[in-house]
Amino acid sequence: MLSPNGVFGTTPDVSSTRVDDIGEGEVPERVVDEMSTTRAARAKAIEAWADKVEPGDLVIADTESLRAIAELTERREKLDAALIEAVRSARRSDRSWSEIGAMLGVSKQAAQRKYSKVSM
């Protein structure tokens, strides 16, 4: 994984991958295929890969924008969970889908479509 000062390693050994097959800054497809779809699993796979990187292969990389994306994603997940709970609470309090939709800034149909399965 990235160190606090933004040091990033180069890609792992891809001797079976042709240089023409990958673009600059891209991770070879076979490495991506090995990663799970969950962020935790991807992070674990990247950390395992980073443990194998030779110190001489490390370069400085500006990761501020990527870190911002990760932080915002985590905040969005927490906000989404809180919003689902608020919709559940509103439905338990007999609030209508029209009222909930108005608070969400969407139609009652859109609110119901998105939250009806998770609001019970």
In a structure prediction context, what are the per-residue pLDDT tens digits for the chain, which is 120 residues long? 444 444 444 444 444 444 444 445 555 555 555 544 678 888 888 888 888 888 888 788 888 999 999 999 999 999 999 999 999 999 999 999 999 999 999 999 999 999 999 877
pTM of the model: 0.49
Please provide the size of the chain in residues.
120
Residue 27: predicted pLDDT:
56
Residue 15: predicted pLDDT:
46
6 with 12: CB under 8 angstroms? no
**Closest CA relative to residue 16, chosen from 32, 1, 29, 34:** 29
Residue 108: predicted pLDDT:
96
Residue 114: predicted pLDDT:
94
68 with 51: CB under 8 angstroms? no
**Closest CA relative to residue 42, chosen from 64, 75, 66, 62:** 66
Residue 77: predicted pLDDT:
93
- Separation between Cα atoms, residue 97 and residue 119, nearest integer Å: 11
DSSP string, 22-64: S-TTPPPHHHHHTS-SSHHHHHHHHHHHHHTS-GGG-EE---H
pLDDT tens profile 5-30: 444 444 444 444 444 444 455 555 55
Q: How many CA atoms lie within 13 A of 41 on its CB side?
A: 7
| Summary count for the chain: helices (H), strands (E) | 5, 2
**Closest CA relative to residue 12, chosen from 67, 55, 58, 50:** 50
Domain ranges of the chain: 7-61, 65-115
